[in-house]
C-alpha cells in the first residue's frame, strides 16, 4: 500500500470469514448452520461498497465475519 500510495492507488487487504464456496463444501469445513455463514454475494457487496468510497478515503484492512456463525 505504501509503495503505490503516491500514485493514488488504494490497496485493501480483505480478510473474509467463513464463506459458502465450493472449497468450504468439498473440504468438510462447512458449518452446520449454513444459513448463518457469509454468501459470495455478501463479500461482493462488501468489496463494491469499499470501492465506492470517495477517492480521498481509504479502507486499508477489511475483516468480514459472519454475525452468528
pLDDT digits (tens, 9 = 90+) for 13-32: 999 988 888 877 777 766 66
Q: What is the pLDDT of residue 44?
A: 96
Mean pLDDT calculated for residue range 1-24 = 88
How far apart, in Å, are the Cα atoms of 2 and each of 12, 13, 15, 17, 52?
11, 13, 19, 26, 21
Overall domain count for the chain? 1
pTM of the model: 0.76
* Residue 33: domain span: 5-64
Helix ranges restricted to H, 1-69: 22-26, 40-51
- How far apart, in whole angstroms, are the C-alpha atoms of residue 41 and residue 38? 8
In a domain, 14, yes or no: yes
In a domain, 69, yes or no: no
- How far apart, in whole angstroms, are the C-alpha atoms of residue 10 and residue 3? 10
In a domain, 57, yes or no: yes
Q: What is the pLDDT of residue 32?
A: 62
Torsion over CA: 28, 31, 35, 37 (sign): negative
In a domain, 50, yes or no: yes
Amino acid at each position: 500500500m505504501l509503495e503505490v500510495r503516491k500514485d493514488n492507488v488504494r490497496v485493501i487487504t480483505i480478510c473474509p470469514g467463513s464463506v459458502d464456496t465450493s472449497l468450504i463444501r468439498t473440504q468438510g469445513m462447512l458449518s452446520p448452520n449454513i444459513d448463518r455463514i457469509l454468501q459470495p454475494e455478501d463479500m461482493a457487496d462488501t468489496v463494491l461498497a469499499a470501492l465506492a468510497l470517495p477517492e480521498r478515503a481509504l479502507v486499508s484492512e477489511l475483516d468480514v465475519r459472519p454475525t452468528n456463525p
